A and B are shown apart, each in its own frame.
Chain A
Amino acid sequence: AQSVAQPEDQVNVAEGNPLTVKCTYSVSGNPYLFWYVQYPNRGLQFLLKYITGDNLVKGSYGFEAEFNKSQTSFHLKKPSALVSDSALYFCAVRDSGTYKYIFGTGTRLKVLA
């Protein structure tokens, strides 16, 4: 069965520093991978996706993610964190052969001024 894991419940980073939010996946077949962000009391917003192609995927708000097939990882990155990036981040994968999506447990990012 397809799954994603977000090993960190929370990540703290200083404003201006690079940030990484980790995600590993387990799929059969080609992975369809996603990152979403949730701000307080809001629904999730799409950030970026990997379907095929370049291993470095660029998304909204200056975020990017690196697909690594050998390490089965899809880490979210940003070169310079902003306080406004503080939110809950979810990694997700599409269940192969279906249109169901499986979400990770989420990582809370806190960017400190």
Chain B
Amino acid sequence: NAGVTQTPKFRVLKTGQSMTLLCAQDMNHEYMYWYRQDPGMGLRLIHYSVGEGTTAKGEVPDGYNVSRLKKQNFLLGLESAAPSQTSVYFCASKRGTRQETQYFGPGTRLLVL
């Protein structure tokens, strides 16, 4: 049982390049989340999903897109990376409506030059 995994662990992009971050969970959780962590700002919610085929915007969705085609996977896309998107990205999942505990992945460190 791997829990929540994130791919890649680290990536360097040039401004304007695109990439996709993959989050996978093997716990059959319904809800999945993408956060970004920046110094002094804590965690901020980018997008989330309450089930397969659904997505919704969080606090800071601009410049990102997401997809949840399979229940176990939640993809975060950057179409045209900007230096302001340099951050550590965390994925999390939780079982369902009545379960409040989120399980976090190890993070992806992204540097945009």
Binding site for A on B (CB under 8 A): 4, 31, 33, 35, 40-45, 48, 50, 58-59, 90, 92, 97, 100-107
Contacts and interface: CB of A to CB of B under 8 A. Distances in A.
Contact of B90 (A44, A49, A100, A106): A44
A92 B33 CA distance: 14
Interface residues of A, number: 24
Contacts of B4: 43
A22 B11 CA distance: 35
* 8 tightest Cβ-Cβ pairs between the two chains A and B: A43-B104, A103-B43, A105-B42, A44-B104, A103-B42, A46-B101, A43-B106, A106-B42
A100 B104 contact: no
Contacts, number: 55
A49 B100 contact: yes
A104 B107 contact: no
B105 A43 contact: yes
Contacts of B58: 100
A67 interface: no
A44 B58 CA distance: 19
A106 B44 CA distance: 12
B15 to A, nearest CB: 26
Given A32-B100, A94-B100, A99 B48 contact: yes
Interface in A29-86: 32, 34, 36, 41-46, 49, 51
Contacts of B97: 99
Given A43-B90, A43-B106, A99-B48, A104 B100 contact: no
11 contacts: A42-B106, A43-B90, A43-B106, A49-B100, A90-B42, A99-B31, A99-B50, A99-B97, A100-B58, A103-B35, A105-B41
